Structure 1
Amino acid sequence: MRTYESLHDTLSFYSINCHESYYVSSGKAIFSFPDLPFRMDYYALCICTSGEINIEIDNQKYRVEANDFLVSAPSTVIKFLHTSENFKMQLLFFDKNFLIKNISNPFIIEKMNLFNKGSYSIITADPKNASLILNSMGYMKRKTKRKGKFTEEIIRASIFNLLLEVAELMNKENDNTDEKEEGKKDLFLRFHQLVKENIQHQRSVQYYAGQLFVSNKYLIEIVKKSSGKTPHQIIDETLLGEAYVLLGNPHLTISEIAFELRFNSVSAFGRFFKKYTSYSPSQYRINENIQT
């Protein structure tokens, strides 16, 4: 049992030796998955080509079927629950720094509004649009195999174009959203990303409101409207996801995890964890067979 926090670590689980800043899968059947939640430090676009998978993303459960696809940002916490025997998925992973090299706007991905659930989206595409995405990924896979002088630049441009296609597909579902509402949605997404980046150090709504240059009241209003949750709930859910990831690392004691997450005591961490899961951190490790 271990924690998968990087592209290289994740692929190593599948015996894939990849030291590039991007990876395109073959689309073959996947027979084993990490048992524990893991936090990604890369962008991912995954499309189901057959069968189905039950998956938990940032503590929310989903069933993904053929032509459904997931697009997610770094720091998203994933847990695989169950897959059908005929499950297949095409995967594209890439590092943000790889994509934005030579691009003047470092927030170009955020501007695409790809992540309607904070750091990820799950979209159901019709067969035609799913085929378009798969064809693009197939092209990138072929180019990766035939290494050439401009392969990296071609892959970078291909990923960028693919993300634009996905963004266009998503935006068709939100054509009635006016500019003011888009601004509110953007504020929520920035809040959610800030929480993910600072959760180990900051849990105050006032801190995040200050970072976003809005009042506490306005932030609460926007977050509630965008997600149906309060900022405190978003913060606690993110903290719980971080706790899952750290508990999956057998080299860390529960005391060390409590300290890492800035709890005043181990018992305070235990109360927090039990409040949302109904069992203690140590019981969670026993249930998941995490040997320390």
Structure 2
Amino acid sequence: MSANSIIKHTIREITEALGDTLQSNDLHVYISTDTFDNIPFTYPFRTDNYGILIVRKGYVKVLINLIPYTIKENEIIVLTPQTVFHLQEFSKNLKIASLSFTTDFIFKNTYKIIEVDAFSFLVTPVIPKLKLEPKDVNLIVELLGIIKEKHNKKSFFKEEIIASSFGLIMYYYVSKFKEAYPNLEVKNTRYEEITFRFLKLLNENFKQERSVQYYADILCLTPGHLSKILKEVSGRSASQLINEIIVMEAKILLDDPKLTIAQIADELQLSDQSFFGKFFKKHTGNSPLNYKKLYSGKVSAKEN
């Protein structure tokens, strides 16, 4: 089968084929509770998203980019976008857990929480599997369960808990990856390196510096060239990434019932409360006060 004829599936399509309910177009947790009678994908396919596959029981044989893998109990493997995945065989007692997420999810929700180095392992063309201890698998599955639970109901700090749980999984995976493959060198492209450097700078300076020119000057690029690079790697321009990290920080602060809107505007070093209100509504569709009511004050005790 030629590369052009390989079917591409979205997270939604894979979720529906597995008989699960989609949690988000950008992030989905699947934890099998029963063994499989059959799996719908018996043909090679690729997706635009990342995938973390954990075999909790049994085994599965697959081709990944035409390379054969047997993933056994307590083993984990990370699949990168555009990877060609072809299921070959699975045991009757197979039980799995998986996490599917897009580049959009990373850049919209977690690049402030997770150190940039943790992302570098997600762009390696090498796809080694890891053998974990049962307690490690249980921990990751527990974190996946938290993400799934929080997706399905409204609660205080919902987005932060999801992003933080995701970050813990990434850190845990990277730590085990480095332990198992200490000499494996991850080589990023020049564009990826520039993107990681930009994100690190942005994390450190976004409250004080919101000019694309500021970051471009440090990286010895023109603003236009920087945005072109970021767009190619992340799907977002420099100004979009700057705005998104401010919005994400604002949401975190708005979840704190002790902070007033004026205090949050001051913390973010925005000119005044009015400007903050207009900025936040432009990017979220809600005023800061309405967001506070919707996502903090309106959560019932039952939902917690």
TM range (shorter): 0.5 to 0.7
Match of 2:22 among 18, 38, 45: 18
Percent identical: 21
What letter is aligned with 1:108? V
Q: Distance in 1 between matches of 2:113 and 2:48?
A: 20
- In the other structure, the counterpart of 1:208 is none
1:143-158 aligned within 5 A: 143-148=150-155, 150-158=157-165
- In the other structure, the counterpart of 1:8 is 12
Change over 3 Å in CA distance of 1:35–1:164 after alignment to 2 = same
Unmatched segments (≥5 aa) in structure 1: 194-292
Change over 3 Å in CA distance of 1:173–1:17 after alignment to 2 = closer
Q: TM-score, normalised to structure 2's length? A: 0.53
Q: TM-score, normalised to structure 1's length? A: 0.55
- In the other structure, the counterpart of 2:80 is 73
Q: Distance in 1 between matches of 2:96 and 2:112?
A: 33
Q: Offset of 1:48 from its aligned partner? A: 0.4
Match of 1:52 among 53, 59, 62: 59
- In the other structure, the counterpart of 1:226 is none
Contact in 2 for aligned 1:76/1:120 (Cα 8 Å) = no
Q: Tell which structure's C-alpha radius of gyration is larger.
A: 2
- In the other structure, the counterpart of 1:186 is 187
Of structures 1 and 2, the one scoring higher in RCO (CA 8 A, sep 6+) is: 1
| 1:86 and 2:93 correspond | yes
Q: Mean Cα displacement is larger for which, 85-94 or 97-106?
A: 97-106
| 1:172 and 2:173 correspond | no
Contact in 1 for aligned 2:80/2:122 (Cα 8 Å) = no
Residue-by-residue CA offset, 1:58-116 (whole Å, 9 max, x unaligned): 10011111101111111111000111110010111111211222536999376442465
Per the alignment, in what secondary structure is the counterpart of residue 32 of structure 2?
coil
Q: Offset of 1:38 from its aligned partner? A: 0.7
Q: Distance in 2 between matches of 1:155 and 1:104?
A: 14
Contact in 1 for aligned 2:61/2:87 (Cα 8 Å) = yes
**Number of equivalences:** 183
What letter is aligned with 1:37? P
Contact in 2 for aligned 1:115/1:121 (Cα 8 Å) = no
Per the alignment, in what secondary structure is the counterpart of residue 141 of structure 2?
helix
Q: Offset of 1:160 from its aligned partner? A: 1.6
Q: Distance in 2 between matches of 1:110 and 1:168?
A: 9
Contact in 2 for aligned 1:114/1:167 (Cα 8 Å) = no
Residue-by-residue CA offset, 1:2-45 (whole Å, 9 max, x unaligned): 93421112122223342612111132233323121110111111
What letter is aligned with 1:24? V
